[in-house]
Structure formats: C-alpha cells, structure tokens
Amino acid sequence: MHVVQPVLKFKSLLGLKSIGIEYGTGNTDSMGGEADVIHLLKSKPSAPTIFRYLVISENYHDLVSKDVDLVGITVIDEQFYEMLKRSSSKKLGIEIAVSWLRKTNGQKLAKNIALIKSIHNFTQKYGNQLVLTSGASSIFEMVSGRCFDALLELCDIKPETYWNSLNNWLDHKIGMRCYICDT
C-alpha cells in the first residue's frame, strides 16, 4: 500500500481518473481495494479479490488466451495481425507504451505513429481496444492526460471518442469479475 500512495498523488496532479499499477503473481491478500487503481496482474487470482484487476501479458501469442485481458506489444509483424484477427471475439486490450515511443528517433517515430493509427483501426474493426499507457517505471515517467490527448490527435484519433471507448472497455472487463465486497 505504501508504494501506491506516491503514484496516487501524481495521478491526481496529472489529472488522471484511474491508473494501472503492475503487480506480480505473489500474494494478493495484502493489496487494497482503492477505487481509482486497477491492479495489473501476470496471472488470474485463484479466488475473488477486493481489488479491481486486469490480467496482462507481454507476449502477443497470448492474444488467444482466455485468461488474458491486456497484451503489451513492442514488435508488430504479420503474425501479430493474424493473432489479433483470431482474438476478435475477446474484446482484448492491445497496449502500446508511450515510453517505447520516447526512445525512437524522428524517422522511426513517424513510422510508429502510423503503426498506432493502423492498430487503432484494426482494433476497432475486430472489437478490441487500443490502450495507450505511459509505460512508466517511476513517477517521473508518468504522462499527463493532455500529452495523451496530443498523441491521439497526432494519430488522427479523437481523444473524446478514444477515452469513452476505453472507459466502456474497462467497465466491461472489470465488471465481469467476481469481487469481495468490503463493507
């Protein structure tokens, strides 16, 4: 819980409504049920939890896995697109981290922005969701909502439409879980 507090403080300063925090596969009993935190787990908990969570993977071959909600990608090739087509009924999240874009030069950045446009169109066509994240490994790498909006506009994606779509996707994914009520 003590690790979460600085992140929540910066979340408020950056004007973000919710934030995802990555957790490993360890004991989930000590995790709190903060309303504005989505816990990102490497595997599905074996019992109902008091916290909201998504199961993430960094291997795009997990696109067809029934236990994975969100797949982080860094390499896009034909096999990725074929896997995405096969996962069309899952309403899967395809995560692209802004930190990955920060590390590219100007020419590669233009290519990567074109890829984001392509992935966004592809995810919309097949019922999945593009999820842009900061990819932050510390509070100093967090990205504000305004910066996300600017990136979305650069990719010809209307920010309002994107955020509404992402919110609906999160409500759907998180709403399908079985939680323990803390009363």
Instruction: Give the amino acid at 99.
Output: S
Q: In 39-176, which ranges are continuous DSSP H helix?
A: 78-86, 98-102, 106-125, 145-154, 159-175
Residue 28 has pLDDT above 80, yes or no: no
How large is the angle between the packed helices 106-125 and 78-86, nearest 10 degrees? 20
| In-domain check, residue 72 | yes
DSSP three-state, residue 151: helix
Residue 76 has pLDDT above 60, yes or no: yes
Question: Who wins on pLDDT, 85 or 10?
Answer: 85
Q: How many domains does the chain have?
A: 1
Instruction: Look up the domain containing 76 and give its range.
Output: 4-175
12-16: average pLDDT: 58
Q: What pLDDT does residue 144 have?
A: 81
Task: Report d(CA 40, CA 19) in Å as an integer.
Answer: 10
Tokens 């504000």 sit at which residue? 144
Which residues lie below 8 Å from residue 32, measured CB to CB, with a gap of 6+?
Answer: 1, 4, 50, 51
Q: Quick one: DSSP state of residue 72? A: E
- Residue 101's domain is classified under what CATH number? 3.20.20.140
| In-domain check, residue 58 | yes
| In-domain check, residue 125 | yes
DSSP three-state, residue 87: coil
pLDDT tens-place string over residues 136-168: 777 777 788 888 899 999 999 999 999 999 888
**pLDDT, mean over the chain:** 75
Residue 23 has pLDDT above 80, yes or no: no
| In-domain check, residue 160 | yes
Which residue, among 44, 49, 53, 67, has the nearest Cα to 22 in the 3D structure? Answer: 53
**Beta carbons of 35 and 4 less than 8 angstroms apart:** no
pLDDT tens-place string over residues 92-118: 888 888 887 777 787 888 888 888 888
